[in-house]
């Protein structure tokens, strides 16, 4: 059975680190044996002409173009962290909602992870800083140089989902049950 899992077609995962100014996206492939391969990463820069509504439009259009180009099968997105001002939290929530809308309109399943869960899965501690996440993501995917922070976070979210889904498959449970306490 392990050989069958290892030869199964890879699953493409889109990781999203939502933001109201920049949204990080990272795409990986994971095979049945849990091996991951980097496909793409970038920050979607949302700033430009127009107001906040135009930023959300750029986010929707950018994600739609990436989904059309790379055809992910599953999506993982970071949950909102409410440590900033109320206005920032509201804008972040709206950007996250727009990102989720972009993927569910294409019938893609979405899994959500808290920032501490992502840091724990990738670095080994939920209190890791951005530089540690960037370093570990680059090391895990064999990427040279320093990664842009938002894109590194998106790749970390995708890697977290890959780990959780592999554990879920081994346990024979859903990904929601495999990670939640």
Residue 36's beta-bridge partner residues? Answer: 30
Q: Is 150 marked active-site? A: yes
Q: Is 17 one of the annotated binding-site residues?
A: yes
For the stretch 93-100, contacts whose Cβ atoms lie closer than 8 Å and that sit 24 or more positions apart, written own/partner, are: 94/20, 94/52, 94/56, 95/18, 95/19, 95/20, 95/23, 95/46, 95/55, 95/56, 95/59, 96/18, 98/56, 98/59, 98/60, 99/16, 99/18, 99/23, 99/59, 99/63
Token readout for 62 is 């950018």
In whole angstroms, give the CA distance from residue 43 to residue 153.
Answer: 10
Active-site entry in 17, 74, 117, 153: 17
Which H or E run contains 112? Answer: strand 110-113
Active-site entry in 29, 74, 150, 153: 150
Q: Is 78 one of the annotated binding-site residues?
A: yes
In whole angstroms, give the CA distance from residue 181 to residue 169.
Answer: 17
Active-site entry in 29, 78, 117, 153: 78
Annotated binding site: 17, 78, 150
Active site residues: 17, 78, 150
Binding residues for Mg(2+): 17, 78, 150
């Amino acid at each position: 059975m392990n050989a069958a899992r290892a030869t199964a077609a890879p699953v493409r995962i889109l990781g999203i680190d939502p933001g109201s100014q920049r949204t990080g996206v990272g795409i990986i492939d994971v095979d049945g044996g849990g091996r991951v391969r980097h496909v793409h990463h970038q920050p979607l820069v949302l700033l430009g002409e127009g107001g906040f509504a135009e930023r959300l439009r750029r986010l929707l259009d950018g994600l739609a173009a990436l989904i059309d180009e790379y055809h992910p099968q599953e999506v993982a997105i970071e949950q909102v962290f409410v440590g900033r001002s109320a206005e920032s939290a509201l804008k972040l929530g709206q950007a996250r909602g727009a990102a989720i809308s972009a993927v569910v309109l294409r019938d893609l399943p979405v899994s959500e992870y808290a920032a501490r869960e992502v840091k724990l899965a990738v670095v080994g501690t939920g209190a890791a800083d951005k530089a540690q996440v960037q370093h570990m993501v680059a090391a895990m995917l064999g990427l040279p140089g320093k990664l842009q922070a938002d894109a590194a976070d998106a790749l970390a979210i995708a890697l977290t989902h890959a780990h959780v889904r592999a554990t879920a498959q081994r346990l024979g449970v859903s990904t929601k049950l495999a990670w939640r306490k």
